[in-house]
Structure 1
Amino acid sequence: MLIDLISENAIELAVSTENWEEAVRKGGELLERSGAVESRYIDAMVNMVRKLGPYIVISKGVAFPHARPEDGVLKTGISIITLKDAIEFGDEENDPIKLVISFCSTDSEGHLHALSELVDFLRDEKAIKSIMNAKSKREVIDILKEIV
């Protein structure tokens, strides 16, 4: 379940970043700090965006950085950062980005249930806005518990 993958040590609020790459790296650092990925996974997330463009922008104001399991995933995990100031990722339709949900999985199938819950969350505009405006990590977890 999605909520089982989230802990307070994988959440940061009102993070200051200069650009999309720094935002992706900060989300990846939380995954690394939680023991979900090796440091090379962070570079892989950045390189995927450089190679494929802003495909990680999945809805208005939300980015979902990730890379392949073989790029250094140790266990399935999610990190959440809200940005102090919204950042342009290069997606005309959904920029600027205020919420970055970084994801890693050990395989391409084991995380499908968590991803389906994430899709449900992304459909809930009120919940997304609540997380973007959350004042504490506990508040983010409580919002997620209500939805998933």
Structure 2
Amino acid sequence: MKFLEEHLVNLDVSVSSAEEAIRMAGRLLVEDDLADPRYVDAMVDSYKINGPYFVLSPQIALPHARPEDGVKEASVSFVRLKEPVVFGHAANDPVQLVFGLGASSSEEHLKLLQKLMRLLGTSSNIEKLKNAPCFSEITKLF
């Protein structure tokens, strides 16, 4: 399981749309050979079909697709957007923190979500994620 390792984190990225933000988070998984390129398309398709259901709390999105859409290894990427982007969620827009979730089974999906929820469970951690100047500051959170 790969969880927010340095090569899976990209800080202060400029994007112009929710789709672009999802692709950035997915691309990190593909570049590390944790998912097939088709997984990124599946993440975007899921958003287009189902809407922003994965915008779970204010400013936080966890885009993902099904394991059979091309996940090779359980993993989470993180993209912090330079400027927040609207995903279309009535209560939790705009989004600044995007976690690309790749799980190869429902059991792994739950484990990854539990780790993420521990990290995101406190408002102080969320503020630190939004303001950390570098990756090493983020690692202190988990």
TM-score range, shorter chain: over 0.9
- 8 Å Cα contact 2:76-2:112 kept in structure 1: no
Matched, 1:73 2:71: yes
The number of residues matched between the two structures is 142
Kindly state the Cα deviation for residue 49 of structure 1 after the two structures are TM-superposed. 0.6
**Post-superposition CA distance 1:116-145 (Å, at most 9, x none):** 1212222211101111111111211222x2
Q: What one-letter code is carried by the residue in structure 2 that aligns with 1:127?
A: N
Structure 2 counterpart of 1:31: 29
Q: How far, CA to CA, are the matches of 1:113 and 1:83 in structure 2?
A: 25
Choose from 4, 9, 26 the match for 1:6. Answer: 4
Q: Which runs of 5+ in 2 are unaligned?
A: none
Partner of 1:109: 107
**1:1-148 residue pairs with structure 2 within 5 A?**
5-143=3-141, 145=142
- CA RMSD in angstroms comes to 1.2
For 2:123 and 2:55, locate their aligned partners in 1 and report how far apart those are by CA, in whole Å.
15
Gaps of 5+ in 1: none
Between the two proteins, what is the percent identity of the paired residues?
38
Q: Please give the secondary structure, in 2, of the residue aligned with 1:110.
A: helix
1:59 and 1:122 in contact (8 A); partners too: no
**What is the TM-score when the length of structure 1 is the normalising length?**
0.91
Query: What SS does structure 2 have at the residue aligned with 1:24?
Result: helix
